[in-house]
Amino acid sequence: MSKVSMVSKLLSKGATKVAKKTVKSAVETAGSAALGSLFAAAASGTKNMVTDQVHKFKDKIYIPDIEGIPVEEAQKILTDFHFKSIKLLVDANKHYANKRTGIVLKTKPKLGSKVSPDTFIKVFYADETIIASSQALLKASQDRQAAKKEAHKILAHKMVANSKSEAALLSHKLASSFHHKKNNEANRETK
């Protein structure tokens, strides 16, 4: 592997596009003499970035997937991972209309996020009131969609009817004009 490709490989594992362009530009202008020092600088910079990231995330863990399980069980799982949690009701939303009561619908931070173990997790669920309100929102949304669809249907029928009447009127005018022209020609021929 050439030094240029090794430098590019190192840069692709963590440096920005600007750094890549800078390295390519330096390689093109400085030539192979500068590659050794450039390679060492890139390797050192990459090592520092990786080390910083390792230290930053070494104590972090993923929030387990607790969506769809009972809230009490979810809180026990979070406690097993040393998280602190609180259960909160979600706001009514048509997306929750068909959900069961007392199950985890979402968390904050989101499920699968990598966080420190002392992170406080908000566990959101719905009770019967929220589910009923969500069902009402869904019904209202479906009613609006049905009304909108019906309005479009009525408008389409009106447009078709108007088009037909306009076509009939135009046809009548053309036929009238044609007969009038024919009569004028016939009158001219007889004179």
User: How high is the mean pLDDT in each 10-residue block of the chain (191 residues)?
Assistant: 48 48 57 56 57 60 93 94 93 94 95 89 96 95 92 88 83 78 74 63
Both 73 and 128 in one domain: the answer is yes
Q: Within the chain, what is the greatest distance between any pair of CA atoms? A: 111
Total domains in the fold of the chain: 2
- CA 61/CA 76 separation, integer angstroms: 16
- CA 104/CA 123 separation, integer angstroms: 7
Both 72 and 124 in one domain: the answer is yes
Both 71 and 93 in one domain: the answer is yes
Name the percent of the chain in helix, strand, coil, to the closest 5.
Answer: 65, 10, 20
Q: What is the structure's pLDDT at 20? A: 53
In a domain, 184, yes or no: no
Task: Give the number of residues written for the chain.
Answer: 191
Out of 132, 163, 184, pick the residue that ends a domain.
132
pTM exceeds 0.75: no
State the DSSP code for 102: T
In a domain, 86, yes or no: yes
What domain range is 94 assigned to?
Answer: 61-132
In a domain, 31, yes or no: yes
Check: CB of residue 96 under 8 Å from CB of residue 56.
no
CATH number at residue 89: 3.30.10.20
In a domain, 154, yes or no: no
